[in-house]
Structure 1
Amino acid sequence: MGIVVGYFIGVSFPSVSLARVILPSSIYSPFDVTMREDQAKALERSFPENLGSGNTPATPKIYVPTNPRGAESLPPGIVVLETDLYLRRLWGEPSEDLKKKPKYLVTFTVGWGQRGNIDASIKKFSGDFQILLFHYDGLVTEDQYEWSKKAIHISVMKQTKWWYAKRFLHPDIVAAYEYIFIWDEDLGVEHFNADKCIQLVKKHDLEISQPGLEPNNGLTWQMTKRRGDKKFTSRDTEEKPGWCSDPHLPPCAAFVEIMAPVFSRAAWRCVWHMIQNNLVHGRGLDFALRRGVKPAHEKIGVVDSQWIIHQVAPSLGSQGQSENGEAPWKGVRDRCRSEWALFQDRLANADKAYFKHQIG
C-alpha cells in the first residue's frame, strides 16, 4: 500500500525547476504587478556607472576612507550620516511629505497610570515639538487622545528613560532637533509653557537647562529650586556648608537634575556618550553634565519663570521585582544607589587612565 501511495504522489505533481518558479499572474495584487513592472523598467535605464555590457550595471570601484566605517565603498554623495523622527507618508512626492518640520523633540517615559498627567503635559507643547513616548508597561494610549495619533510610541517592558535614551536617541538620530527634552512622567506643568521656555533658553544661551522646581517635600537641591525673585534664569546658588568645593561646580552651579533636563543638540551629542549601557537609572549623570559644555557654569542653568512641580509619583518602583520578601520598590531603590557609586567610580577611573596615558 505504501508503494502505491508513493507512486500516485509522485506522478500527481509535475517536476518543478528549483532555479525558477513562475507563478500565475492572478495571485499577484495590482500593487505587486505595478512594482514588478517598475523594477523591469529600472533595469532598462542607462546609469553613468554602467561600465558593463547589457542591462546589468557593473559595480564601480570606489573607496573613500573618510566615509563612516563600513561605508567606504560608497560615493560620498549617497551617504546619509544623520536621520530624524519625522513621520512620512507612504504615497506622493517625498519632498512634499512634511508641511511643517518640528524644531524640537520632547520625550516622556510613561506608564498607563500617569496617562492623565501626560495628557496635560503634552498640551503644553506646541506643534514645533515632536512627541516621543517610551512606554515601560506595554500599554500604549493610541486612541484616547488626539495627539497620540501623531506621536511616536516605543514600548519595551520595565525600562527607564536613560535605557531608552541610550538606544533610541543617538545624536545622529535626533540631529534634526535644536533641543531635546527628556522628561519624567510625574511633572505638574500648570505654570509651564514650552515655547516661552525655549525663548529664554535661547536668549540666555543655555546649552543644558531645566524649568525651576516649585519647592515641595521632594526637593533636594537649592540650584533647581524656583526663586520668586528671578524673572528669567539662574546659573548658581548657595548650598549647605561644605557641599561645594568651588562656587562654579555642582551642586552650586553647572547643575540640573535628571527628572526634566533640556539639552541643546550639541550638548546632547556629548552627554549621550556618557550614558552607560548597563546603568539604567542615570544616577550621577547630573553631576557630570558639566563635561558636555564650556564654560559649564555659564551654559547650564534653570529657567525660573517657567516652573514645574515634581509630583514624586512612585510609578517606577512598581516595575521592580520582590526578592527575599521585600517590596519591589526597595530593589529599585537599592539599584539606584549602587549605580550612582558605580558611575562615579567609572568616571574617576577613566580620568585617571587618561591623565596617566598623557603623562606617560
Structure 2
Amino acid sequence: MASEGLEISQPALDPDQSLDIHHRITVRDRKAKVHRRVYDVRGSLNCSNESTGPPCTGWVEGMAPVFSRAAWKCAWHLIQNDLIHGWGLDMKLGYCAQGDRTKKVGVIDTEYIVHQGIPSLGGGGSVNKAPSKSLDLRAHIRRQSTAELEKFKERWDQAVREDKEWVDPFEGYTRIRD
C-alpha cells in the first residue's frame, strides 16, 4: 500500500475460490501487484479509459478496506453510527483519498482474500431455518439497507448544501451510479 502511494486499498478477491463477487474491480489480477481501475461493459456500467469514478476507478468495496491514518480520519467522519449497513459509503470513500482517487485508491493483487458469500445479516448461515423465513428476513434487510442508503444520500446532500466553502473535487466526473 505504502510503496504504491495508496491511501485507501483492499485486498483483491480470489476469483477461483470466492463464492460471491459483486464488483469486477475487486477481482484479483494474478499478473499485477496492484490495480486501480477495471474495464467492464455490461448494462448501464461502462468502465473505459474515460471513466474517472466509482466503481470503475478510485474505488474499493466496503467489505475489507484498508486506510492510511489520514484517510481513516476522514472516513471515520463518514460513518453514521445509526445506520447499520453502510450502503453507499464505499461510493464516497474516494473523497478521503488525500488527492486524486484514481491514483490513491487501489486493489492489492499480491494480497488477496476469499469471499465466502455468507450473509452476515439475516439468515443464510443455518440449515435449520425454514427457507421462507430466511427469505423474508433477507427481503426486510434489503428494504432497510435501501432506506439507509437514501438517508445517507440525504445527509451527504445536506452537508454539501450547508458547507458554503465546499468544492467537489470530483465534480464533472462520469457518474456511473450512486
TM-score bucket of the superposed structures, by smaller chain = 0.7 to 0.9
Asked whether 1:277 is paired with 2:100, we answer no
In structure 1, what is the Cα distance between the partners aligned to 2:24 and 2:85? 22
Asked whether 1:264 is paired with 2:68, we answer yes
In structure 2, what is the Cα distance between the partners aligned to 1:339 and 1:239? 28
In structure 2, what is the Cα distance between the partners aligned to 1:357 and 1:249? 19
Which has the higher relative contact order, 1 or 2, with Cα contacts under 8 A spaced 6 or more apart?
A: 2
1:227: Cα distance to partner?
Answer: 1.4
TM-score (norm 1): 0.39
* Of 84, 89, 94, the match for 1:290: 94
In structure 2, what is the Cα distance between the partners aligned to 1:357 and 1:302? 29
In structure 1, what is the Cα distance between the partners aligned to 2:164 and 2:88? 22
Asked whether 1:207 is paired with 2:12, we answer no
Q: Which runs of 4+ in 1 moved over 4 A?
A: 355-358
Partner amino acid for 1:348? D
Paired-residue identity, %: 36
5+ residue gaps, structure 1, are 1-200, 319-324
Q: Is the 8 A contact 1:283 1:340 kept in 2?
A: yes
> Aligned pair in 2 of structure 1 residues 342, 239: CA closer, same or farther (>3 Å)?
farther
1:272: Cα distance to partner?
Answer: 0.5
In structure 2, what is the Cα distance between the partners aligned to 1:237 and 1:328? 34
TM-score (norm 2): 0.75
1:295: Cα distance to partner?
Answer: 1.2
1:357: Cα distance to partner?
Answer: 8.6
Q: What's the secondary structure of 1:286's corresponding residue? A: helix
* Of 231, 248, 264, the match for 2:52: 248
Rg comparison, structure with higher value: 1
Q: What's the secondary structure of 1:329's corresponding residue? A: helix
In structure 1, what is the Cα distance between the partners aligned to 2:163 and 2:4? 33
In structure 2, what is the Cα distance between the partners aligned to 1:271 and 1:335? 22
Aligned residues: 152
In structure 2, what is the Cα distance between the partners aligned to 1:299 and 1:357? 21
Q: Is the 8 A contact 2:26 2:60 kept in 1?
A: yes
What does residue 106 of structure 2 align with?
A: 301
> Aligned pair in 2 of structure 1 residues 261, 357: CA closer, same or farther (>3 Å)?
closer
1:217: Cα distance to partner?
Answer: 4.7
Q: Is the 8 A contact 1:223 1:236 kept in 2?
A: yes
What does residue 163 of structure 2 align with?
A: 354
Q: What's the secondary structure of 1:327's corresponding residue? A: helix
RMSD between superposed Cα atoms in Å: 2.5
1:351: Cα distance to partner?
Answer: 2.0
1:328: Cα distance to partner?
Answer: 2.8
5+ residue gaps, structure 2, are 124-132, 168-178
Q: Deviations over 1:16-49 (max 9, x none)?
A: xxxxxxxxxxxxxxxxxxxxxxxxxxxxxxxxxx
